Chains A and B, each alone.
Chain A
Amino acid sequence: MAQRTSPILKKLLSGTPSHLRSCLRSITYMPRPGYHAAKPVNPITGDGIPRSVTLIPGDGIGPLVTGAVEQVIKAMKAPVIFEKFDVHGNMNKIPDEVMDSIKRNKVCLKGGLITPVGGGVNSLNVMLRKELDLFVSLVNCFNLPGLPTRHDKVDIVVIRENTEGEYSGLEHEVVPGVVESLKVITKFCSERIAQYAFEYAHLNNRKTVTAVHKANIMKLADGLFLESCREIAKKYPKIKYNEIIVDNCCMQLVSKPEQFDVMVTPNLYGNLVANTAAGIAGGTGVMPGGNVGIEYAIFEQGASAGNVGKPKMVEKRKANPVALLLSSAMMLRHLELPEFADRLENAVKRVIYEGKYRTKDLGGSSTTQEVTDAVISALK
Chain B
Amino acid sequence: MAFQIAKRLLRSRATNEFFTTTRNPSVGLFSSIDRNYSSSSNLIRATLFPGDGIGPEIAESVKQIFTAAEVPIEWEEHFVGTEVDPRTQSFVTWESLESVRRNKVGLKGPMATPIGKGHRSLNLTLRKELNLYANVRPCYSLPGYKTRYDDVNLVTIRENTEGEYSGLEHQVVRGVVESLKIITRQASLRVAEYAFYYAKTHGRERVSAVHKANIMQKTDGLFLKCCREVAEKYPEIKYEEVVIDNCCMMLVKNPSLFDVLVMPNLYGDIISDLCAGLIGGLGLTPSLNIGEGGIALAEAVHGSAPDIAGKNLANPTALLLSAVSMLHHLDLNEKADKIQDAVLKTIAEGEYRTGDLGGTSTTTEFTKAIIDHL
Measured between alpha carbons, how far is A55 from B139 in the docked complex, in Å? 44
User: 1/0 per position for A219-252, CB-CB distance to B under 8 A?
Assistant: 1110110000000000000000000001110111
Q: Which residues of A in the span 155-184 have a Cβ within 8 Å of any Cβ on B?
A: 166-167, 169, 171-173, 176-184
The answer to whether B214 and A179 touch across the interface, beta carbons within 8 angstroms, is: no
Measured between alpha carbons, how far is A255 from B270 in the docked complex, in Å? 15
The answer to whether A182 and B179 touch across the interface, beta carbons within 8 angstroms, is: yes
Measured between alpha carbons, how far is A123 from B213 in the docked complex, in Å? 11
On chain B, the residues within 8 Å of A276 by CB distance are 248-249, 251-252, 274
The answer to whether A179 and B218 touch across the interface, beta carbons within 8 angstroms, is: yes
On chain B, the residues within 8 Å of A304 by CB distance are 245
The answer to whether B148 and A180 touch across the interface, beta carbons within 8 angstroms, is: no
Asked if A115 is an interface residue, CB under 8 A from chain B, the answer is yes
Which of the candidate stretches B64-72, B99-107, B161-169, B321-329 sits at the interface with the other chain? B161-169
Which of the candidate stretches B88-96, B183-191, B231-239 sits at the interface with the other chain? B183-191
Report the minimum CB–CB distance from A205 to chain B (whole Å).
27
Asked if B336 is an interface residue, CB under 8 A from chain A, the answer is no
User: 1/0 per position for B140-177, CB-CB distance to A under 8 A?
Assistant: 00000001110000000000000011010111001111
Residue among A187, A217, A268 making CB contact with B167, cutoff 8 Å = A217
On chain A, the residues within 8 Å of B10 by CB distance are none
With A219-B169, A275-B249, A279-B252 as contacts: A115 and B215 at CB distance below 8 Å: yes
User: 1/0 per position for B97-133, CB-CB distance to A under 8 A?
Assistant: 0000000000000000000000000000000000000
In the complex, what residue of chain A is closest to B147 when comparing beta carbons? Answer: A255
> By CB atoms of chain B within 10 A, which of A182, A254, A271, A304 has the most?
A254
Measured between alpha carbons, how far is A218 from B224 in the docked complex, in Å? 24
Asked if B178 is an interface residue, CB under 8 A from chain A, the answer is yes
With A180-B181, A224-B177, A305-B249 as contacts: A250 and B274 at CB distance below 8 Å: yes
Residue among B170, B177, B220, B273 making CB contact with A250, cutoff 8 Å = B273
Measured between alpha carbons, how far is A214 from B149 in the docked complex, in Å? 27
User: 1/0 per position for A247-286, CB-CB distance to B under 8 A?
Assistant: 1101111110000000000001101101110111001100
With A118-B221, A248-B273 as contacts: A183 and B164 at CB distance below 8 Å: yes
Asked if A88 is an interface residue, CB under 8 A from chain B, the answer is no
In the complex, what residue of chain B is closest to A188 when comparing beta carbons? Answer: B175
Asked if B62 is an interface residue, CB under 8 A from chain A, the answer is no
With A184-B177, A184-B178 as contacts: A272 and B224 at CB distance below 8 Å: no
Interface residue total, chain A, C-beta cutoff 8 A: 62
On chain A, the residues within 8 Å of B278 by CB distance are 254
On chain A, the residues within 8 Å of B250 by CB distance are 279
User: 1/0 per position for A296-308, CB-CB distance to B under 8 A?
Assistant: 0000000111100
Measured between alpha carbons, how far is A280 from B248 in the docked complex, in Å? 10
Asked if B42 is an interface residue, CB under 8 A from chain A, the answer is no
Asked if B87 is an interface residue, CB under 8 A from chain A, the answer is no
With A250-B277, A276-B274, A279-B252 as contacts: A179 and B183 at CB distance below 8 Å: yes
The answer to whether A179 and B182 touch across the interface, beta carbons within 8 angstroms, is: yes
Residue among A117, A177, A179, A250 making CB contact with B243, cutoff 8 Å = A117
Report the minimum CB–CB distance from B338 to chain A (whole Å).
30
Asked if B276 is an interface residue, CB under 8 A from chain A, the answer is yes
The answer to whether B251 and A279 touch across the interface, beta carbons within 8 angstroms, is: yes
Asked if A126 is an interface residue, CB under 8 A from chain B, the answer is yes
The answer to whether B213 and A117 touch across the interface, beta carbons within 8 angstroms, is: yes
Asked if A116 is an interface residue, CB under 8 A from chain B, the answer is yes
Interface residues on B, range: 35 or more
Measured between alpha carbons, how far is A255 from B146 in the docked complex, in Å? 12
Measured between alpha carbons, how far is A151 from B164 in the docked complex, in Å? 31
With A150-B148, A221-B179 as contacts: A279 and B248 at CB distance below 8 Å: yes
In the complex, what residue of chain A is closest to B271 when comparing beta carbons? Answer: A250
Asked if A69 is an interface residue, CB under 8 A from chain B, the answer is no
On chain A, the residues within 8 Å of B241 by CB distance are 117
Q: Which residues of B in the span 187-227 have a Cβ within 8 Å of any Cβ on A?
A: 212-222, 224
The answer to whether A181 and B180 touch across the interface, beta carbons within 8 angstroms, is: yes
On chain B, the residues within 8 Å of A45 by CB distance are none
Asked if A119 is an interface residue, CB under 8 A from chain B, the answer is yes
On chain B, the residues within 8 Å of A219 by CB distance are 169
On chain A, the residues within 8 Å of B185 by CB distance are 176-178
Measured between alpha carbons, how far is A119 from B221 in the docked complex, in Å? 9
Residue among B148, B169, B248 making CB contact with A218, cutoff 8 Å = B169
Measured between alpha carbons, how far is A111 from B77 in the docked complex, in Å? 60
Report the minimum CB–CB distance from A142 to chain B (whole Å).
15
Report the minimum CB–CB distance from B291 to chain A (whole Å).
20
On chain B, the residues within 8 Å of A151 by CB distance are 148
Measured between alpha carbons, how far is A109 from B176 in the docked complex, in Å? 33
On chain A, the residues within 8 Å of B271 by CB distance are 250
Asked if A185 is an interface residue, CB under 8 A from chain B, the answer is yes
On chain B, the residues within 8 Å of A278 by CB distance are 249
Asked if A186 is an interface residue, CB under 8 A from chain B, the answer is yes
Residue among B177, B186, B218, B273 making CB contact with A247, cutoff 8 Å = B273
Measured between alpha carbons, how far is A183 from B306 in the docked complex, in Å? 36
Report the minimum CB–CB distance from A219 to chain B (whole Å).
7
With A150-B149, A254-B277 as contacts: A116 and B214 at CB distance below 8 Å: yes
Asked if A120 is an interface residue, CB under 8 A from chain B, the answer is yes
Measured between alpha carbons, how far is A126 from B282 in the docked complex, in Å? 36
13 contacts across the A-B interface (CB closer than 8 A): A150-B148, A177-B184, A178-B185, A183-B180, A186-B177, A217-B165, A221-B178, A248-B273, A251-B282, A254-B277, A255-B148, A279-B252, A305-B245
Interface residues of B (CB under 8 A from A): 147-149, 164-165, 167, 169-171, 174-186, 212-222, 224, 241, 243-246, 248-253, 266, 269-274, 276-278, 281-282
Interface residues of A (CB under 8 A from B): 115-120, 123, 126, 150-151, 166-167, 169, 171-173, 176-188, 214, 217-221, 223-224, 246-248, 250-255, 268-269, 271-272, 274-276, 278-280, 283-284, 303-306
Contacts A123-B214, A187-B175, A305-B248 known; 16 new A-B pairs at CB < 8 A: A116-B214, A119-B217, A166-B216, A176-B185, A177-B184, A178-B182, A179-B222, A180-B180, A220-B177, A246-B270, A251-B282, A253-B277, A272-B244, A274-B245, A279-B249, A305-B243
